[in-house]
Amino acid sequence: MGGAVKVYGVAASPFVATVLLCLEEVGADYELLPLDMAAREQRTEPYLSRNPFGKIPALEDGELTLFGNEIHTLITNQSIAYKL
């Protein structure tokens, strides 16, 4: 995987904030790509190609795309690995 991890969502969301906090903790290079929730941008393409459920966050690392429980599983596993 290369470059910054892309996180799609809004920082005010507790789900997105959790992801951002964990990325900060491990020192990952990331970029928050905000969505216009009032305009329901999360329910339109191209976002639906990242997360077909239209929920936030979605996370991209190179060609790997994660959303929903996949992100939380990754965070849990990384937290255990780094003893966070």
Q: What pLDDT does residue 14 have?
A: 93
Q: What pLDDT does residue 22 have?
A: 86
**Average confidence (pLDDT) over 40-62:** 95
Q: What pLDDT does residue 81 have?
A: 62
pTM here is 0.84
Q: How far is CA 21 from CA 5, 8, 24, 49, in A?
A: 13, 14, 5, 25
What is the identity of the amino acid at 9?
A: G
Q: What pLDDT does residue 25 have?
A: 85
Domain at 5-80, CATH class: alpha beta
Task: Please tell me the distance from the alpha carbon of residue 84 to that of residue 79, in angstroms, as a whole number.
Answer: 5
Q: What are phi and psi of 82, to 5 degrees?
A: -95, 0
* Per-residue pLDDT tens over the stretch 8-42: 999 999 999 999 998 898 888 999 999 999 999 99
Domain residue spans in the chain? 5-80
Is residue 60 scored above 80 in pLDDT? yes
- Tell me if 31 sits within 8 A of 7, measured CB to CB: yes
